[in-house]
Structure 1
Amino acid sequence: MPTCEDVHAMEHGARARCLPEPWMCRVFHVDGSLRDIRAPDVTRAEWIAVLERLRAVADETEVEHPYPRLDPVRPAVAELFRAWADEPEREGTSFAFRARFGAVWFFALPFDEEEIEFSLRPDDVVDAADVTAVLRFLAEVAGASGRRTVLTAETVRYDDSLPTLCSHDPGTGLAFHL
Structure 2
Amino acid sequence: MGETGARGRVEVAHEVAHEAVHACEHGARARCLPEPWMCRVFHIDGSLRDIRVLDTSRVEWIAVLEHLRVMADETEVEHPYPRLDPVRPAAADLFRAWADEPEDERSGFCFRARFGAVWFFALPCEEEEIEFSVRPEDVLDLAGVAAVLRFLVEVATAARRPALLTGETARYDPGMATLLSHDPATGLTSHT
For residue 10 of structure 1, what is the aligned residue in structure 2? none
CA distance in 2, matches of 1:91, 1:157: 20
Shift of 1:48: 0.1
Output the CA distance in 1 between the equivalents of 2:104 and 2:58.
15
Displacement after TM superposition at 1:43 (Å): 1.0
Q: What's the TM-score, normalizing by structure 1?
A: 0.86
Give the aligned partner of residue 122 of structure 2.
108
Partner of residue 142, structure 2: 128
Is 1:21 matched up with 2:36? yes
Q: CA deviation at 1:21?
A: 1.6
Pair 1:56-2:74 in alignment = no
Instruction: Name the Cα RMSD after superposition.
Output: 1.3
- Give the letter aligned to residue 88 of structure 2: R
Q: Secondary structure at the match of 1:46?
A: helix
Q: Give 2:36's aligned amino acid.
A: E
* 1:92 shift after superposition: 3.9
Contact kept, 8 Å, 2:39 with 2:145, in 1: the verdict is no
Q: Which residue number corresponds to residue 13 of structure 1? A: none
Letter in 2 for 1:30: I
Quote the Cα distance in structure 2 between the aligned partners of 1:119 and 1:88: 25
> What does 1:81-100 correspond to in 2, within 5 Å?
81-89=95-103, 91-100=105-114
| Structure 1 residue 159, shift from structure 2 partner | 1.8
C-alpha distance in 1 between matches for 2:105 and 2:144:
34
> Considering only CA atoms, is the larger Rg found in Structure 1 or Structure 2?
2
The 2-side partners of 1:57 and 1:147 are apart by: 18
**How far apart in 2 are the matches of 1:152 and 1:91?**
29
Give runs of aligned pairs for residues 136-175 of structure 1, distance below 5 A: 136-175=150-189
Q: 3-state SS of the aligned residue for 1:73?
A: coil
Question: 1:91 Cα deviation (Å)?
Answer: 3.5
Name the SS for the 2:133 alignment partner.
strand
- C-alpha offsets along residues 98-153 of structure 1, whole Å, 9 cap, x if unaligned? 00000000000000111000000011011111111100000000000011110000
Percent of residue pairs identical = 71
Q: Which runs of 4+ in 1 moved over 4 A?
A: none
Aligned-residue offset at 1:67: 0.3
Alignment check: 8 A CA contact 1:104 1:133 kept:
yes
Task: Tell me the matched-pair count.
Answer: 159
Q: Is 1:64–1:95's contact at 8 Å kept on the other side of the alignment?
A: yes
User: What is the correspondence of 1:26-37 to structure 2 with a 5 Å cutoff?
Assistant: 26-37=40-51
Q: Is 1:20–1:127's contact at 8 Å kept on the other side of the alignment? A: no
